[in-house]
Amino acid sequence: MTIAKLFELANHSGGTLYLMCLLLLAALTVIIERSLYLSKMQQGGEELMGLVHGNAPLHAEPMQKALSKHAKLPHVSLFEASLIEPADSARDTCAGHLEEAVMREVPTLDRSLWVLDTVITLAPLLGLFGTIIGMFGAFSVLGDVQNGAGQVTGGIAEALIATASGLMIAMIGLVFFNWLNTKVRVIVHQMETIKVMLLNRRFGTPSAAGTRVGLRVA
């Protein structure tokens, strides 16, 4: 299919194919940007979780290097909140402050995903609209007795390309939308896990006998 033919199809669709090209470009931009960003955050979160799991003190050099390396990650806000927490703070108070840090960072995780959600919904509707416009053009030739049925069916086939394009864009967007949402949930779970780990290492964990076992944090 030549470029000229593509432009002809786009014109027959009432211009909706041009709009769908813009939707596809917006979807690909969000997919690429969010994929790189969330993948980087997930990898950094795994590294920080490994350090906390290994009981690395918050003021130790390996931990400080990791926090500096991943300074832009939302996980770091939990460590910052833990470091500035007063020494005589109760566990519930500290837990509340850490939860505040999590809630402040969550909106940054799914930023721009609403664009992908909109594309998934709008693309099939635009495709259907373009097909309807194309059908008007296909059936308009019936008024001319010299035009055969082949022209009508050919016009209908061309009009259906708009619907097919809209469905293809929606399917691509849906796959990546669900994949990115899964990454967001994983990162939120990482932050919740780090919160619990920091609390346990600062205030200790209840043992089977009801006593508290404290772990070093600094």
- Integer Cα distance of 214 and 202 in angstroms: 7
Tell me, what's the pLDDT at 58?
75
Is residue 173 within 8 A of residue 113, CB to CB? The reply is: no
Q: Which residues contact 79 (CB under 8 A, 6 or more apart)?
A: 48, 58, 63, 67, 194, 198
Tell me, what's the pLDDT at 186?
95
- Integer Cα distance of 137 and 67 in angstroms: 62
Tell me, what's the pLDDT at 215?
42
Q: What is the pLDDT of residues 126-139, one digit of tens each?
A: 888 888 877 776 66
Q: Fill in the DSSP letter of residue 31.
A: H
Question: Which pTM value belongs to this model?
Answer: 0.78
CA–CA–CA angle 102, 103, 104 (5° rounding): 90
Tell me, what's the pLDDT at 144?
58
Q: Which residues of 74-95 are buried (b: 16+ CB within 10 A; e: fewer)?
A: bbbbbbebbeeeeeeeeeeebb
Q: Fill in the DSSP letter of residue 218.
A: -
Q: Which residues contact 17 (CB under 8 A, 6 or more apart)?
A: 9, 10, 130, 161, 162, 165
Tell me, what's the pLDDT at 23?
92
Q: Which stretches of the chain drop beneath a pLDDT of 50?
A: 208-218
- Integer Cα distance of 30 and 18 in angstroms: 19
